[in-house]
């Protein structure tokens, strides 16, 4: 590689790091024009095209990277990623297999390929590739971390804990692993990590992200051991640090609720024909309200596939807004203001096409993205025969369940109790609106009723979804399918009721939140209930 190519390459990398995608694209075109045989330049170009939402061009550039370096596993993997981005899953898996063959002796390449298999939901294949990477790099903490995550998804919790123990002995600064390990099981007086967690936290080197992970891990383990004062103190410290990192503005979320109510004031009109499939089952609500439990119950049925938390509806709505507005990037007010004017048949077909690679072959598939509760009115128009299941917990329990959770991304309203109460009020207002404007069309399922009357509520759920009774739905904890949510360890257990009253240990700290909810007209649980 000449110095000119080297200088251009470094300049493009700098622009990519600054997220200056248009400038990076222009400089990368110079690089690939002047050095057409330089494979890394084409790889960069493909990544930039993906960021610019040009998936077809991203694939073309990945093909150029493969042509420049036919045996390069990174180029082959990039092609697989681009194919999957174009919803060409079978071809993507074939391309990933070629990358795997090319990278069989390269542990870094194997680690990247395992990540691809994890993203596309091929968790058994991901584990096999992780095992290859760990065999070649047994002392590489990041390879062990990747394998621990896959073990957790597959419910192999003892194996996951062993990997976390090993990788933390190799690299104690992988702070996220501490929290993941604490969440794998209920900690006991005989088996816990409080001493090591406290010692690591008190060292001078944890950055802010590390401190956040450690505070949440300490909170969880103290709560397991009944040390609720310490648990709350660490939870509050962790949540304040997390909130300080976010540029989240609650006003936007509150406005979206009002915009949607204005856009859909009445019962949906007769839907346009063409997207009448009954395949999708949407499970909606707030995070940490029992949606994963409902998903596991339904997906234990022989006719239902769990597709996970899909972002496809949001992306399809964004494209529908572009079409309705004639603008490439309509602002949020325009997006939601135009929502009632969408071509709903096209929206339904677009959503189904996006889901194609992950929908499976069974008659029904579940989309468990909780915040799809925002779009109930759009779902009913675009997919008139889809089922919508709204899972709700009692107010204080729901809010505390969110507050104690450190999310990987999103849900910025959950780290401050005042913002959490205000968001809950808006959510409640919108769900009441959907129920009034679409009476009888959304199944309301109470988490508390489900865990105390499992058979009765499961039958009601199956009846609503048009499914025959199957006993397997009562034994959802035996379902071997992977789960990638924060509840991955909990879904391996039978129904339990301890989470219903957990918030009462912290009732004094939640008094202000409860007062806000009650002032907004929401009856909260009595402390002694």
**260: DSSP letter:** H
Q: Return the structure tokens found at 227.
A: 């040390």
**What are the beta bridge partners of residue 365?**
280, 305
Given this model, what pLDDT does residue 87 score?
81
CA distances from 371 to 257, 309, 461 (A): 12, 10, 20
Given this model, what pLDDT does residue 6 score?
83
pLDDT in tens, 406-450: 998 889 999 999 999 999 999 999 999 999 999 999 999 999 999
Concatenate the DSSP letters of all residues of 306-358 into one string.
Answer: E--S--HHHHHHHHHHHHHHT-SS--HHHHHHTGGGS-HHHHHHHHHHHHGGG
CA distances from 474 to 236, 413, 453, 495 (A): 37, 34, 11, 9
CA distance 399 to 381: 30
Specify whether the CB–CB gap between 391 and 338 falls below 8 A.
no
Given this model, what pLDDT does residue 121 score?
87
- Residues of the chain above pLDDT 90, percent: 74
Q: Return the structure tokens found at 247.
A: 């540029």
Helices and strands: H and E segment counts in the chain: 25, 5
Of 469, 455, 464, the closest CA to residue 303 belongs to: 469
Given this model, what pLDDT does residue 376 score?
95
Query: Is the pLDDT reported for residue 2 higher than 60?
Result: no
pLDDT in tens, 52-74: 888 899 999 999 999 999 999 99
Specify whether the CB–CB gap between 302 and 467 falls below 8 A.
no
Given this model, what pLDDT does residue 494 score?
59
Domains and CATH numbers, the chain: 172-245 (no CATH), 250-311+353-519 (3.40.50.300)
| pLDDT-based confidence at residue 485 (cuts at 50, 70, 90) | low
**492: DSSP letter:** G
Specify whether the CB–CB gap between 248 and 412 falls below 8 A.
yes
Query: Is the pLDDT reported for residue 96 higher than 90?
Result: yes
| pLDDT-based confidence at residue 528 (cuts at 50, 70, 90) | low
Average pLDDT, the chain: 91
Query: Is the pLDDT reported for residue 357 higher than 50?
Result: yes
Given this model, what pLDDT does residue 1 score?
45
End-to-end distance of the chain based on CA atoms, in angstroms? 72
Query: Is the pLDDT reported for residue 274 higher than 50?
Result: no
CA distance 301 to 479: 10
CA distance 235 to 90: 44
pLDDT in tens, 281-329: 999 999 999 999 999 999 999 999 999 899 999 989 988 988 888 877 7
**Residue of higher predicted confidence among 272 and 258:** 258
The mean per-residue pLDDT over the stretch 453-458 comes to 94
CA distance 344 to 346: 5
Specify whether the CB–CB gap between 368 and 391 falls below 8 A.
no
The mean per-residue pLDDT over the stretch 156-177 comes to 95
Query: Is the pLDDT reported for residue 226 higher than 80?
Result: yes
Given this model, what pLDDT does residue 488 score?
58
* Furthest-apart CA atoms within the chain: distance in Å: 74
CB 492: neighbour CB atoms within 10 A?
18
Specify whether the CB–CB gap between 246 and 411 falls below 8 A.
no
pLDDT in tens, 369-399: 999 999 999 999 999 999 999 999 999 999 9
| pLDDT-based confidence at residue 336 (cuts at 50, 70, 90) | confident
Query: Is the pLDDT reported for residue 88 higher than 60?
Result: yes
Instruction: Identify which of 59-68, 499-508, 518-527 has the greatest average pLDDT.
Output: 59-68
3-state percent helix, strand, coil for the chain, nearest multiple of 5: 65, 5, 30
CA distances from 148 to 104, 154, 194, 206, 296 (A): 20, 10, 21, 22, 22
CA distance 462 to 468: 7
H or E segment and range at residue 364: strand 364-367
């Amino acid at each position: 590689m000449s110095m000119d190519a080297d200088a251009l390459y470094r300049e493009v990398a700098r622009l990519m790091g600054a997220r200056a995608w248009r400038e990076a694209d222009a400089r990368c075109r110079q690089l690939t024009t002047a050095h057409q045989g330089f494979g890394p330049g084409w790889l960069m170009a493909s990544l930039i095209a993906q960021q610019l939402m040009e998936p077809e061009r991203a694939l073309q550039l990945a093909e150029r990277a493969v042509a420049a370096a036919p045996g390069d596993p990174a180029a082959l993997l990039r092609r697989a990623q681009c194919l999957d981005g174009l919803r060409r899953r079978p071809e993507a898996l074939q391309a990933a297999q070629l990358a795997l063959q090319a990278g069989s002796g390269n542990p870094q390449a194997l680690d990247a390929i395992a990540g691809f298999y994890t993203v596309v939901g091929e968790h058994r294949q991901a584990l096999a590739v992780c095992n290859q990477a760990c065999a070649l790099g047994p002392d590489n903490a990041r390879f062990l971390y990747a394998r621990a995550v896959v073990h957790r998804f597959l419910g192999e919790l003892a194996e996951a804990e062993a990997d976390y123990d090993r990788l933390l002995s190799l690299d104690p600064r992988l702070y996220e692993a501490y929290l993941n390990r604490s969440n794998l099981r209920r900690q006991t007086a005989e088996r816990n990590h409080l001493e090591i967690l406290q010692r690591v936290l008190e060292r001078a080197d944890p950055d802010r992200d590390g401190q956040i992970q450690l505070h949440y891990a300490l909170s969880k383990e103290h709560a397991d051991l009944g040390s609720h004062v310490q648990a709350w103190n660490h939870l509050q410290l962790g949540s304040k640090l997390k909130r300080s990192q976010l540029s989240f503005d609650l006003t936007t979320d509150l406005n979206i609720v009002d915009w949607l109510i204005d856009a859909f004031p009445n019962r949906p009109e007769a839907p346009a024909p063409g997207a009448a499939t009954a395949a999708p089952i949407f499970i909606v609500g707030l995070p940490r309200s029992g949606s994963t439990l409902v998903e596991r119950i339904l997906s234990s049925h022989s006719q239902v596939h769990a597709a996970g938390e899909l972002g496809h509806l949001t992306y399809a709505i964004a494209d529908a807004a572009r079409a309705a507005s004639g603008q490439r990037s309509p602002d949020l007010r325009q997006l939601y203001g135009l929502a009632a004017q969408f071509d709903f048949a096209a929206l339904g077909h677009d959503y189904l096409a996006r889901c194609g690679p992950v929908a499976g072959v069974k008659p029904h598939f579940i989309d468990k993205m909780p915040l799809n509760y925002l779009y109930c009115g759009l779902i009913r128009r675009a997919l008139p025969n889809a089922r919508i299941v709204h899972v709700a917990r009692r107010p204080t329990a729901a809010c505390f369940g969110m507050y104690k959770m450190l999310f990987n991304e999103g849900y910025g309203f959950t780290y401050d109790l005042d913002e959490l109460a205000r968001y809950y009020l808006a959510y409640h207002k919108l769900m009441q609106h959907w129920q009034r404007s679409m009476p009888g069309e959304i199944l309301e399922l109470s988490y508390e009723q489900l865990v105390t009357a499992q058979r009765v509520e499961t039958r009601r759920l199956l009846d609503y979804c048009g499914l025959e009774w199957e006993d397997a739905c009562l034994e959802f904890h035996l379902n071997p399918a992977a789960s990638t949510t924060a509840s991955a360890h909990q879904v391996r257990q039978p129904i339990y009721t301890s989470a219903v009253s957990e918030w009462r240990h912290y009732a004094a700290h939640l008094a202000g939140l409860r007062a806000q909810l009650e002032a907004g007209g929401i009856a909260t649980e009595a402390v002694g209930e």
